[in-house]
Amino acid sequence: MPPTERAESPIGLRAQKKRQTRLDLCMAARRLAVEHGLDATTVEDIAKVVGVSPRTFFNYYDTKLDAVVGPIEEIGNAHAREVFIGGGPSGVLIEDLTWLFASAFEPETEVREAISLVIELIKAEPRVFAAFMAAGVRQEAIVGDLLSARAGAPVAPEFAALAAGIMTTLTTRAAMTSAADSTKSLTAALHDHCAMAARLFDKPDDAQRRPAR
């Protein structure tokens, strides 16, 4: 049965609703912080925009700054994570990591707005930049878990940190490129940056290595 026709379980629907509320709170926090400044934005303001109580807000985030950073416990979407752990879709790790990260770029219009808001906030609020850096460190463990699940054995923390750092850099650069060129999709930009990064490891072919005669 196609995924669009598969009946959702009550647990699955509840999980989707919670995930959507978490994202809605994040976007509300970013929009309000851009419009009014982080200090002038309150938890009550954020909760009111989403239509929940401040108490509910604290079920998702500890602080308004956490809400601005947003959820970091998931990379890509659930289907993409399952395929990645199973060794797909290509079997080439860097390409599959790129595909996994790109799977989070939907719907693209919302992702573009989210990126635009983050860029504005980072320029205006040093605390936001520091918070995103801290989130990146926590994301290393998440990448490590995914890599270990895919490999069937624990991977070295150094390897997980390197993979997370590379993907964060590629994603950030791709987002900046896509922001400057609205005709280029975020997914295409990320894959382009992955291809450019691969060129750093190009080796001269045999003809180039042979001395000129």
Q: List, for residues 136-187, the tens digit of each pLDDT value.
A: 888 899 999 999 999 999 999 999 999 999 998 998 888 888 877 778 888 9
- The separation between the first and the last C-alpha atoms of the chain, rounded to the nearest angstrom, is 64
**In whole angstroms, how large is the CA radius of gyration of the chain?**
20
Q: How far is Cα 54 from Cα 67, in angstroms, rounded to an integer? A: 12
* pLDDT value of residue 8: 44
Residue ranges per structural domain of the chain? 1-70, 72-201
pTM for this structure? 0.76
Residue 210 has pLDDT above 70, yes or no: no
- Mean pLDDT across the chain: 87
DSSP conformation class of 64: H
Grade residue 211 by pLDDT with cuts at 50, 70 and 90.
low
* pLDDT value of residue 4: 37
| CATH architecture for residues 1-70 | Orthogonal Bundle (1.10)
* pLDDT value of residue 62: 95
Grade residue 10 by pLDDT with cuts at 50, 70 and 90.
low
Q: Kindly state the percentage of the chain with pLDDT values over 90.
A: 57
Q: Kindly state the percentage of the chain with pLDDT values over 70.
A: 91
Q: Are 129 and 122 in contact (CB under 8 A)?
A: yes
Grade residue 206 by pLDDT with cuts at 50, 70 and 90.
low
Residue 1 has pLDDT above 70, yes or no: no
Q: How far is Cα 105 from Cα 197, in angstroms, rounded to an integer? A: 20
> What's the half-sphere exposure (Cβ side, CA atoms, 13 Å) at 72?
20
* pLDDT value of residue 208: 56
Residue 57 has pLDDT above 70, yes or no: yes
Q: How far is Cα 161 from Cα 167, in angstroms, rounded to an integer? A: 10
CATH superfamily of 72-201: Tetracycline Repressor, domain 2 (1.10.357.10)
